[in-house]
Amino acid sequence: MKTFSLEEITQIVNGMLTKVEDAKITKIAPPLLSDENTLALALGEDEIANLSNSKAKAALVPLGVQIDGLTTIEVERPRLAMMKLLNLFYIAPTVNKDIHPTAVIDPTAKLGKDVCIGPNVVVSANAEIGDNSKILANSYIGSNVKVGQNCFFHPGVNIGDRVKIGNDVILHHGVSLGADGFSFVTENPDNIEQARKDGEIKDGAQQKHVIFKIPSIGSVEIGNNVEIGANTTIDRGTIENTTIGDDTKIDDQVMIGHNCKIGKGCLIISQVGIAGSCVIGDRVVIAGQAGLADHIQIGSDTIIAAKAGVTKSFPERSIVVGIPAVPRKEFIKQLKTMKDAQEIIAKFRKYEPMLNAFEEAHNE
């Protein structure tokens, strides 16, 4: 069991200690789940109020919060301090040492120093895995894949051929990198092409036509210090590689289509869908369930709100909201217009009988 003094924790989180009584901290928890050896995390108003009913002797609180009779560690950025504490008490997944006997390693594959390969892992021809990387059970590494140093792949990861992965990359359960892109063409113009060109579907569009698959000969390239959540899929490029920039973090169940270029330091939240050939700048935030149409560009430092339907490009530092997505100020203006329209309609209905009577009198 890990045990820390209050002084050690204060130094780790760069906080300010107001000590009422001593305590040895063995875990962290919300106030109502804390005992005498727990550092209570009171980061918000509700948690702070719950401290009066907590058994904890000490609490982590925002700067300026002091509780009579309770030892507190005040911090300027509570969530940042919480992150440091969670890393302090984190218990890493169990990893077997060296190569598990059930793993299948092609003789041409190259493994670096201190590489760990779990049960039933397949490492294909000419793949390279960097020093200190760990690949857990039931994962597949395709041919000519290059994995950097200090990477950690959770169980069930699937990496297609020729994918390049940088250093310090974390892939969670079920991640798929390098599947074929969803790219097809018909011999004659189809209804989608007609709709885009003319805004309507003309007669004959329902005729039978053959759909040809466009092969994907590109691959996927992942930068350094990237983390990708469970069951997220990133398709290979048609000709060029689909790319994910350094320090980008991607949540669970995200779909990134072929040919996309995602910048550095982006945050992409769960259930986002990005269609093929999109270009996303640096430090872009895309909130949950947003959808991006193909071939659009999003400038750096843009925020796309949850469930936004993005059908066109936006410049850098945009805040994008709604379906179809528009700049935030325009969205607020639309809401105000709708509210004003409701008031106008209500007034019209109130005076509609008088208007009808006036028209009848002048029509006689």
Dump the DSSP string for 27-93: EEE-GGG--TTEEEE--SHHHHHHGGG---SEEEEETT---TTSEEEEESSHHHHHHHHHHHH--PP
Say if CB 186 and CB 206 are below 8 A apart: no
Do 274 and 299 belong together in one domain? yes
Do 143 and 240 belong together in one domain? yes
pTM (2 d.p.): 0.83
Q: How many domains does the chain have?
A: 3
Average pLDDT over residues 128-136: 97
What is the predicted pLDDT for the residue at 112?
96
Residue with tokens 């004659």: 188
CA atoms within 13 A on the CB side of 84: 15
- The two beta strands, 116-117 and 319-321, are unpaired
Do 77 and 122 belong together in one domain? no
Do 228 and 282 belong together in one domain? yes
**Structural domain boundaries enclosing 29:** 4-89
Do 298 and 259 belong together in one domain? yes
Q: Is residue 340 part of a domain?
A: yes
CATH of the domain at 314: 2.160.10.10
Do 145 and 186 belong together in one domain? yes
Q: How far apart are CA 40 and CA 196, in angstroms?
A: 57
Q: Is residue 350 part of a domain?
A: yes
Residue 222's alpha-carbon distances to 91, 169, 242, 250, 264, in angstroms, are 26, 8, 9, 12, 11
What is the predicted pLDDT for the residue at 200?
76
Confidence of residue 6 (pLDDT cuts 50, 70, 90): very high
Do 206 and 285 belong together in one domain? yes
Q: Is residue 94 part of a domain?
A: no
Annotate 69-100 with b (16+ C-beta within 10 A) or e (fewer). Answer: ebbbbbbeebeebbeebeeeeeeeeeeeeebb
Q: Is residue 97 part of a domain?
A: no
Confidence of residue 226 (pLDDT cuts 50, 70, 90): very high
Q: Is residue 308 part of a domain?
A: yes
Confidence of residue 246 (pLDDT cuts 50, 70, 90): very high
Q: How far apart are CA 326 and CA 310, in angstroms?
A: 8
Do 238 and 283 belong together in one domain? yes
Residue 334: strand, helix, or coil = helix
Q: Write out the catalytic residue numbers.
A: 258
What is the predicted pLDDT for the residue at 207?
64
Lowest mean pLDDT among 137-141, 216-220, 322-326: 322-326
What are the start-end ranges of the E strands in 128-183?
A: 128-129, 134-135, 140-141, 146-147, 152-153, 158-159, 164-165, 170-171, 176-179
Confidence of residue 329 (pLDDT cuts 50, 70, 90): confident
What is the predicted pLDDT for the residue at 364?
61
Do 28 and 47 belong together in one domain? yes
Angle at 79 between CA 44 and CA 59, to 5 degrees: 60
What is the rounded average pLDDT for all residues in the chain? 91
Tens-place pLDDT, residues 75-111: 999 999 999 999 988 888 888 889 999 999 999 999 9
Q: Is residue 199 part of a domain?
A: yes
Confidence of residue 206 (pLDDT cuts 50, 70, 90): low
Average pLDDT over residues 145-166: 98
Lowest mean pLDDT among 66-70, 115-119, 315-319: 66-70
Do 60 and 79 belong together in one domain? yes
What is the predicted pLDDT for the residue at 204?
59
Q: Is residue 35 part of a domain?
A: yes
User: 56, 89, 122 — which closes off a domain?
Assistant: 89
Do 177 and 80 belong together in one domain? no
Q: Is residue 95 part of a domain?
A: no
Q: How far apart are CA 292 and CA 317, in angstroms?
A: 17
Say if CB 269 and CB 288 are below 8 A apart: yes
